[in-house]
Structure 1
Amino acid sequence: MEYILNPWPWYISGPLISLIMALLLYFGKTFGMSSNLKTMCTIVGAGKFSDFFKFNWKEQSWNLVVVLGAIIGGYIATHYLSNDSITDLNPTTIAELQNMGFKNSGASLVPNEIFSLESLASPKKLVILVIGGFLVGFGTRYANGCTSGHAIAGLSSLQKPSLIAVIGFFIGGLIMANFILPLIF
């Protein structure tokens, strides 16, 4: 009998995320991936160039375990817990993506037309990645956190700025997916 792995259902993963958030709140800690980048930059000496990076990074060193866990967990999930199934996308979405030049929509986690090593040979795609990376970095700094930090940690602690940021993320994502991405591709 072959065992087929599927994603954890919401009623398992949701309470586990809630448990972690409750423990972080209890111990007075915050969660977010972008804060780890700030900590890593401070560790390597970015405080010499910007006051933004002048803080006691040792107080945040526990949060670097999140980065390590994301890397190890992603590797385990991809190599040992994945069933290599194609994402079930709406046929209309698949047709729209194919019209933009995406051949195997849903066959991989991210589209190879943008995120493969071969795409780096295309100046247009390289510019898109660089500008996109800059905008994500700028947006994360401007919003004082990333999507995971605001959507999971900020909303669970009932922070109004996080609610505003999450609404902005969704509006920005809808605008990008429906209006800007079709113009680019």
Structure 2
Amino acid sequence: MEIILNPWPWYISGPLIAFVMAILLYFGKTFGMSSSLKTMCSALGADKFSDFFKFNWKEQKWNLTVVFGAIIGGFITTEYLSNDVATDLNKTTIAELQEMGFANPGSTLVPNELFSLDSLISIKAILLLIIGGLLVGFGTRYASGCTSGHAITGLSSLQKQSLIAVIGFFVGGLVMTNFILPLIF
């Protein structure tokens, strides 16, 4: 008997996220991948190269569980919870992706044209990774947090700054998806 694993439905994953957020808020903690990575960089000695990383990382060492949890969770999901079921995409989205040169949109969780070792050997892919990484790093630093931190922690604690940042994330995503990505591909 084959077990088909699909993503958790919103009514299970949503309350779990809310539960974790309630616990973090109760203990006066915040959640965000960028703050977790900042803690990890500081612990690994980045404070010797940049004042940004000069803080007592030991007070925030609990943040390291987020980094390790993401790594372990990604491994468990890839190795044990993945399936070969195609992603159910809208027909218009499939047609638009095929026009951009994606061979089988939705057949894999992420497109092989972007996320395979073969795709990383081109100059175009390397430039996209470098420029994209710089823009994400700049945006995260400029917004004082990442998408997960602002969208989950910031909005749940009713921070105006997070609302503005999340609106910016969505507008940026729409511009990228509808105007810039078609030019790149």
Query: Could you tell me the TM-score, scaled by structure 1's length?
Result: 0.95
Query: Aligned letter for 2:183?
Result: L
Q: Secondary structure at the match of 1:4?
A: coil
Distance 1:72 1:45 in 2: 23
Match of 1:168 in 2: 168
State the number of aligned residues: 185
Partners of 1:101 and 1:182 lie apart in 2 by 10
Q: Say which SS state the counterpart of residue 104 (structure 1) adopts.
A: coil
Please identify runs of 4+ aligned residues in structure 1 that moved more than 3 A: none
Uncovered stretches (5+) of structure 1, i.e. residues with no partner: none
Structure 2 equivalent of residue 145 of structure 1: 145
- Residue 121 of structure 2: aligned partner: 121
Q: Is 1:37 matched up with 2:37?
A: yes
Map 1:1-185 → 2, pairs under 5 A: 1-185=1-185
- The Cα RMSD (Å) is 1.2
Decide which moves more: 114-123 or 51-60: 114-123
Contact 2:37 2:67 in 1 (8 A): no
The residue type equivalent to 2:9 in the other structure is P
Report the Cα offset of residue 108 of structure 1: 2.1
Deviations 1:16-50 (A, max 9, x none): 11010000000011101111221122112222222
2:112 corresponds to which letter in structure 1? Answer: N
**Quick one: distance in 2 between partners of 1:29 and 1:19?**
13
Aligned-residue offset at 1:110: 2.1
TM-score (ref. length: structure 2): 0.95
SS of residue matched to 1:102 = coil
Does 170-179 or 123-132 show the bigger shift? 123-132
